[in-house]
Structure 1
Amino acid sequence: MAGKDAPLHNAAKPLEWLIGKWKGQGKGIYPTIQDFDFLEELEFFHVGQPMLQFSFYSVNKETNKPLHREIGFIRIKPGTNQIACISSHNNGVSEMAEGTVAGQIVSLESHTIGRMTFGKDPKTVKLKRTFTLDGDTLHQVVYMETDTVPLTEHLRTTYKKV
């Protein structure tokens, strides 16, 4: 069975700059909650297919209490800069997003948000995110829209590769 040591699929090479483990810290803001600081570990890896797998694990910076968890895949359409992202969040949200990779910038916008029937309100209806590599620093910005708040910046995280 192919594992993390498999050769990178040619189609995934435009995403190669994301591969690795990253640690960082971020700030969460949103009109309906109190601002918070968090620490996050992020890993992108591949198993030889035309996609990357990823995982996010964040904790409260002050209490070390687990916060957000997210696991998913970013697939690239071979021969293009078009990408699709499928992810599951520990808060009961499943996201399907599409976008582009252009150099060292990934831009994604959800087109489908699934939600467990007993999920906490307000209901998430849209997510947008960007990853940008600037030197050796990876930046992620996440925007969220709920059924009560229009699309607004929610998370801003800065990572260093470890």
Structure 2
Amino acid sequence: MSAAAATYPYPDAFGADAVPAPHPLLAPVTRLLGTWRGQGRGEYPTLAQDFAYAQEVSFSHDGRPFLHYEARAWIVDAEGNPVRPAARETGWWRLQADGRVEALISQPTGIVEIAAGRAAGDTIELTTGEVALTPTAKQVDATHRRYELTPDGILTFTHAMAAVDQPLQHHLSARLRRIS
């Protein structure tokens, strides 16, 4: 195989300032394109204590009406230093002409969420329609995610969850700043 045949004709994904231009259906969410980092707090009734975490979220595209989504988190100590990896997930957001968003989000812990919601103004809300679990995954019944861009350029994130026999309730919140 020649070197030319081994290369791909297009980069995998593009951030906020790259070519090709985002697909017109991405218009409600183009301000999300790029990588965001920040810190947050988490809690849940089944956890021994609340926790602080750092988070990085990336949104990219390849010219089609999809966002590639990736999020990573680390438990941090009181000074904000990483203690250990926490959550990690990746997926796709599919944008529709009327502002609807369909999301597929997969986690290495054996959980796959199929969510739907809306992008309206600077807010995106996603609620699970289905959760698929591997045989050894912890029980998760529902989630609700909210992403909001504030006037001062902060991306706020909140996540509610119904899991392990608990009703839907607050689990995570973070404030993220664009780094690229």
Q: TM-score, normalized by length of structure 1?
A: 0.94
Corresponding residue number in structure 2 for 1:45 = 60
Larger relative strand fraction? 1
1:143 aligned partner, one-letter code:
A
Give, in whole Å, the separation in 2 of the partners of 1:133 and 1:64. Answer: 28
Residue equivalent to 2:41: 27
Once the two structures are TM-superposed, the CA of residue 14 in structure 1 deviates from its matched residue by 1.0
- Stretches of structure 1 that go unaligned for 5 or more consecutive residues are none
* Paired position in structure 2 for 1:104: 122
1:149 to 159, 166, 174: 166
Mapped pair 1:54 → 2:73:
no
Kept after mapping to 2: 8 A contact 1:2/1:48: no
> Does residue 85 of structure 1 match 2:103?
yes
Establish whether residue 18 from structure 1 lines up as the match of residue 32 from structure 2.
yes
Do the aligned partners of 1:23 and 1:42 also contact (CA within 8 Å) in 2? yes
User: Which structure is larger by alpha-carbon Rg, 1 or 2?
Assistant: 2
How much has 1:147 moved relative to structure 2?
4.3
In 2, the alpha carbon distance for the partners of 1:60 and 1:30 equals 15
The CA RMSD over aligned residues, in Å, is 1.1
Runs of 4+ in structure 1 deviating by more than 2 angstroms, as ranges, are none
Corresponding position of 1:67:
86
In the TM superposition, what whole-angstrom CA distance separates every residue of 1:51-73 from its partner, at most 9, and x where no partner exists? 11111111111243111001011
State the 1:132 CA deviation: 0.4
Q: Distance in 2 between matches of 1:156 and 1:90?
A: 21
Where structure 2 has 5 or more consecutive residues not aligned to the other structure, the ranges are 1-8
Amino acid at match of 1:73: W
Letter aligned with residue 83 of structure 2: N
1:30-79 residue CA offsets vs partner (Å, 9 max, x unmatched): 111021110011110111010111111111112431110010111111x2
Please report the TM-score for the alignment, with normalisation by the length of structure 2.
0.85
Amino acid of the structure 2 residue aligned with 1:97: A
Among all aligned residue pairs of Structure 1 and Structure 2, give the percentage whose two residues are the same amino acid.
27
Residue 36 (1) aligns with residue 51 (2): yes
